Amino acid sequence: MTDELAWPQERIPVESMREWLSARLPGRPEVGTHVRPLRVKRWGATGAFTLASGEPVIAKHAEPPLFPAGVAIHQFVESAAPHAVAPLLAVEDGPGWQRSAYGFVAGPTLASRGAAYAPAAARALAAIQIACAGAINTAPPELPRYHLPEVVDRLVEDVRRAGDQDPELAGRLDAAYGELASLAAELATAVATSIDHTDMNADNVIIPDGGPMVILDWEEARIGCPLMSLHWLLIDADDNENDIIDAYTDAIRPLGASTDLVRAATVLAPIKLAMEGRQFARALGWAPPFDNHPNYTRRLLTTALDRLDAPR
């Protein structure tokens, strides 16, 4: 979240967002003219608007809606763990776009609190995932889902077909395929299906003083292996990785997890992210060779294979 961003006025007029918020929010409140941009991307923007009451509200506009089921995912998580996510206030799907509004959650982020709070954030994530696992049988069928062994198979086949990786790295991936597939099958069998937050970074965790932690941005989440979510927390772990893994393992154990399985997930999470990144680039219509997201794929494959080769 930064004030240095510029709202993309030419693509998403502020007045249009203000009118939409006023029409859609409960009580039809007056909305101020100023927006504080929080995220601006080529497919949309997120900003904080202020109501006449002084209360901020978070509004998102996605065009195209790359994650059309994102609101439904958020609603599912909110129904299972209402105190651990931002409240959804309004949503509308239009021709080629989606808008949504969320209640503002006050408090410092994990990024500002520091890595010492990351183990507690891992436990908060696990609590949400356990709650969602208990409600998985009633989850709407339209929620996006994946089966981890199929993700590994698709990524390996996609890299082989595209031929966009250095031959040495591609050879390492081929040689490791059997072990990666075995880890994926073990995780899929041993760990209960739940919600996988695919962007569990330190800016998406709010740590209020005296209240429960709140995790934001569930739009890209999927139903799948919950252990995949730990990846981004570990990226920012500094020297705290073992403490985070231990805290998460203890908390997520009711879903069938163990330390070995959590560490196996740290190997496979970059594989899954690489496949998602390639699909994402293609959905945005990136021109070759960028439709394969080759550099991003290279970094993630190197991370996964180095972790596979390291003692665990």
pLDDT in tens, 5-64: 899 999 999 999 999 999 999 999 999 999 999 999 988 999 999 999 999 999 999 999
- Name the segment(s) of the chain with CATH classification 3.90.1200.10: 110-309
At the topology level, CATH places domain 110-309 in Aminoglycoside 3'-phosphotransferase; Chain: A, domain 2 (3.90.1200)
- Would you say the pTM of this structure is higher than 0.85? yes
CATH number, domain 14-103: 3.30.200.20
CA trace torsion 30, 218, 298, 111 (10° rounding): 70
Q: What percent of the chain has pLDDT over 90?
A: 89
* Segment 273-295 mean pLDDT: 92
pLDDT at 211: 83
In the block, residue with structure tokens 């680039």: 281
More confident residue, 65 or 236: 65
Mean pLDDT of the chain: 94
Strand spans (E) along 24-113: 31-41, 44-51, 56-62, 88-94, 97-103
- Name the segment(s) of the chain with CATH classification 3.30.200.20: 14-103
**Binning pLDDT at 50, 70 and 90, where does residue 4 land?**
low
Q: What percent of the chain has pLDDT over 70?
A: 98
Q: Examine the pLDDT at 139 and tell me if it is beyond 50.
A: yes
* Segment 67-71 mean pLDDT: 93
What is the residue type of 9? Q
**Distance, CA of 235 to CA of 227 (rounded, Å):** 14
Query: Smallest Cα–Cα separation from 29: which of 38, 19, 37, 39?
Result: 19
